[in-house]
Amino acid sequence: MLCYAVAEGTYVRQGPQKKQTMKQLDDSSHNLIEIRNLKFSRGHRVIFKGLDLDIKRGEVTAFMGPSGTGKTTLLRLITRQLIPEEGTIHIGGIDIATLNMAELYRLRQRFGMLFQNGALLTDLNVFENVAFPLREHTKLTNRLIRHVVLTKLHAVGLRGAADMLPSELSGGMARRVALARAMVMDPDILIYDEPFVGLDPISMGVIVRLVRRMNDTLGITSIIVSHDVAEVSTVADCSFLISGGKVAASGSPDELRTAKSELVRQFMHGMADGPVAFHYQAPDYEEQLLGRDAE
């Protein structure tokens, strides 16, 4: 396992390289994740219809788009919680559909996840919440676990809150504890699902800074799902705007802001009128009110 020593805001890798999956991952390729012709539906509703995108190693990549376009679903497909109907997802050069359960389990240990609501265990204090993955997935001694947990809490500025319960934390503090837990296994890929929701401006600024600093100093790859255009623009190297089952646009935040596409302009500038309708598809309003559609 890898450990990170933290001193005056700096991070230093220590220890041996972590175990590879049974099928050797290519850690030299420029693209860490490659998705090709991805198709996925829920019932009769098509979520993706030929999605193609690449996530570059060592960068912060953002998935953005209107509500209901499948951003969180895409995260579940990348971690193989869901199986696509067609298409491939390669991580480190390996098609994850070819992994058996043991290999998939090892691959998932290379991921860290910051859930949208933090998902802290309410009956455990801050220290034990962060220690939980180590106790479940490693055979480290209590002394080593204590060292690693305090290191991670120090990295997010909450070493002094180790004995507090989740109910005693503010929203921003809880999100930072969840971030410490997400990185306690030293993942290669850190996923953030709506990390800025419900945070005050100060807490949001802290999380944005942590996302950028963790990515750069630890040399990991970060994936962010967010609707917050302003905050994503300050932290992402590349953003994908997903709409209509495909990538509608991609590029740096500045490139998306100056894009000529009406859909991209509507989303990036928060315009009420545009290609993305306010009303979900429904029968004719007057006919439905009068009950004619039921005849």
- Residue 161's CB is within 10 A of a number of other CB atoms, namely 18
Q: Looking at the domain assignment, is residue 223 inside a domain?
A: yes
**Domains identified in the chain, total number:** 1
Output the domain CATH number for residue 92: 3.40.50.300
Contact (CB, 8 A) for 64 and 229: yes
Contact (CB, 8 A) for 219 and 36: no
Taking the C-alpha atoms of residue 134 and residue 182, their distance in angstroms, rounded to an integer, is 11
For residue 229, the enclosing domain spans: 27-272
Q: Helix, strand, coil shares of the chain as percentages rounded to 5? A: 35, 25, 40
Say if strands 238-243 and 94-95 run parallel, antiparallel, or are unpaired.
unpaired
Contact (CB, 8 A) for 236 and 61: yes
Residue type, 145: I
Q: Looking at the domain assignment, is residue 289 inside a domain?
A: no
Q: Looking at the domain assignment, is residue 143 inside a domain?
A: yes
Q: Looking at the domain assignment, is residue 243 inside a domain?
A: yes
SS3 145: helix
Longest C-alpha distance within the chain, in Å? Answer: 72
pLDDT along the chain (295 residues), means of 10: 39 42 59 91 87 91 81 89 91 89 87 82 92 89 92 88 90 86 88 80 81 85 83 84 82 75 63 50 66 56
Q: What is the CA radius of gyration of the chain?
A: 21
Q: Looking at the domain assignment, is residue 71 inside a domain?
A: yes
**E-strand spans in 129-196?**
189-193
Residue type, 233: S
Q: Looking at the domain assignment, is residue 16 inside a domain?
A: no
Q: Looking at the domain assignment, is residue 36 inside a domain?
A: yes
Give the CA distances from residue 8 to residues 11, 154, 219, 278, in Å, rounded to whole numbers and listed in that order.
9, 10, 18, 48
Q: Looking at the domain assignment, is residue 11 inside a domain?
A: no
Sign of the dihedral through C-alpha 99, 102, 103, 105: positive
